[in-house]
Amino acid sequence: MSDLRSKWYLVVDRLTVLFLKFLQYFQQLQLTVWWLLELHIIKIVSSYIIWVSVKEVSLFNYVFLVSWAFALPFGQFRPLASSVCTVWTCVIIVCKMLYQLTSINPSTYSKNCSMPLNYTDNQRSEMAHSLLYSAPVDPANWVGLRKFSPLLENLRNNLLILALLAFEVTIYRHQDLYRMRNNLTTPVTRTIFHDITRQHLDDSIVNGAKYFINYFFYKFGLETCLLLAVNVIGQRMDFYAMLHAFGLIAVIYQRRRKAIADTWPKYCCFLACMLTFQYFVCIGVPPAACKDYPWRFPSSSTDSNVIKWLYFPDFHTKPNPMFLLYDFMLLLCASLQRQVFEEEKEEAVRLLAGDNMEICRDLDSTSFSQHNPVPDFIHCRSYLDMLKVIMFSYLFWFVLTIIFITGTTRISIFCMGYLVACFYFLLFGGDLLLKPIKSILHYWDFLIAYNVFVITMKNILSILACGYIKSLVTNHCWLIQLFSLACTIKGYSKRRHHLGQHLFCLPVATATRIHEPLLPTRGRRHSLLTDPRLQVNFNVVWFGLLYFHNDH
């Protein structure tokens, strides 16, 4: 009997130990989850609010976008932005509920706008789909109010915004209270593995992976931001993408990281101002005024595709608000990078994460090893050393391969520049890496400059490919061949004279047959490598590889 009782005591004791361990792990998991939420709640809240604002373009939501566009890069305004958005969301919910009253009848005050009499027949058929002339105009829609049933579906996004804002405050209050009770201070770095520092990076693959989970954006945030800027240009290919290209040039022109850090606040302000102005363009003037824009006057010959490329406000060809999501993601990453630039100045952060100081450009390759704190990995002592050898020994040749593929996907003067650069570097081969570091970076800077130049010029020339292709096909076919013009963005009106996927023009042909070789047909295959969209993607990939290779 005593033996049985002792066995039960042993079982209970083991279960108790397991239960206590479970509670310990659960508490640790809980602390980790709260810490992760504290790190990323601002990104979740701002992303969802901007997504709702872009999905429902209205004057009401303009307050949300302006608040977060400037609160992200300028952190001192974030508590104010949360408070303003909380109050404003409550106001919107009340207004939307009041607008559903049966006493409010939009048909009594909606306006029927009349089309000008001096429109031509073609203009009339096109403008029949305009917001002004297709149906009665409710002035409240421009503000953000409309009749909706069921009401809860109309209020769902605003209620979720309110819930997220309340959750954000709860997280910050919980963390402050937890640290106050346990006499803890806020961690110096926003990391997950607090015991991993720069000293552990070269130990093993596991420690290296943990380090990059902690400090990836600290090390490669600038490259990520520049890559996102190029992606915005490639995804939009319009007037504001051209402004993004000029902003990218202004940043890269600084070259040195310290100079870029000094310019970065201005770049963030530029992105925030451009985002808010574009949303204002999407809102436009109140349609209830029945006044069309000057580019839609009967005397105007501005094409709808040109209006779309210029991202003008328009009642017929509305600017695509989803483009603003690309701008917002760039602004979000640029805001995080500004925080990284501030943290680089702190000694405590540099001790844990390592510094981001540039290598000395005046050292030659033979004496550089004396100033390099990284242990020699050429004689592979671990799998991490093998990965380093693969990365740093063959990345140069991989970049040249991408350059060659980029130069051969299409036939144009830009691609010829890629091929010239590729074969020029092949002449040096591996001996290029033995030159002084200053000379190597000088060559690589030229490559990056040419890549950015091509991206910018393709964006500028896209107005010809998307807006004026009819006159180009008729009178300037050589221009299409020279620059390999192609409209790569969806949403432009598709006509038989549209550029589409064509690669060449025929000098002599009838109007009905001239476009047969230019456009893909149902039975004709076209190579993936001839897709102009792929060419844009190659430029994005190549820019990322070049800048990464240039810095590392």
Instruction: Check whether residue 313 and residue 394 sit in a common domain.
Output: no
Residue 77, domain extent: 1-110+129-186
Instruction: Check whether residue 542 and residue 404 sit in a common domain.
Output: yes
Q: How many domains does the structure of the chain reveal?
A: 3
Instruction: Check whether residue 310 and residue 291 sit in a common domain.
Output: yes
For 111, phi and psi rounded to 5 degrees? -110, 145
Task: State pTM to two decimals.
Answer: 0.86
Q: Where are the alpha helices (DSSP H) in 56-138?
A: 59-71, 78-99, 121-127, 131-134
Choose among 208, 178, 205, 185: nearest CA to 196.
208
For the CA atoms of the chain, what is the radius of gyration?
29
User: Does any domain span residue 473?
Assistant: yes
Instruction: Check whether residue 298 and residue 387 sit in a common domain.
Output: no
Instruction: Check whether residue 455 and residue 533 sit in a common domain.
Output: yes
**Residue 137 DSSP class:** B
User: Does any domain span residue 377?
Assistant: no
The ranges of the chain with pLDDT < 70 are: 1-4, 359-376, 380, 494-552
d(CA 537, CA 541): 6
Instruction: Check whether residue 440 and residue 495 sit in a common domain.
Output: yes
Instruction: Check whether residue 350 and residue 397 sit in a common domain.
Output: no
* Predicted local distance difference test score (pLDDT) of residue 539: 63
Instruction: Check whether residue 325 and residue 407 sit in a common domain.
Output: no
pLDDT per residue as tens digits for the range 409-459: 778 888 888 889 888 888 877 777 777 778 888 888 888 899 899 999 989
Task: Report whether 100 contacts 148 (CB < 8 A).
Answer: yes
Instruction: Check whether residue 388 and residue 352 sit in a common domain.
Output: no
Instruction: Check whether residue 49 and residue 24 sit in a common domain.
Output: yes
User: Does any domain span residue 376?
Assistant: no
Which of 160, 186, 212 finishes a domain? 186
Cβ burial, residue 24 (10 Å; 0-12/13-18/19+): exposed
pLDDT per residue as tens digits for the range 324-377: 999 999 999 999 999 999 998 888 888 888 888 776 655 555 555 555 666 667
d(CA 102, CA 144): 18
* Predicted local distance difference test score (pLDDT) of residue 510: 35
Instruction: Check whether residue 170 and residue 200 sit in a common domain.
Output: no
H/E segment holding residue 417? helix 413-428
Q: Percent of the chain beyond pLDDT 90?
A: 38
Nearest-10 Cα torsion for 163, 169, 170, 176: 170
d(CA 346, CA 149): 55
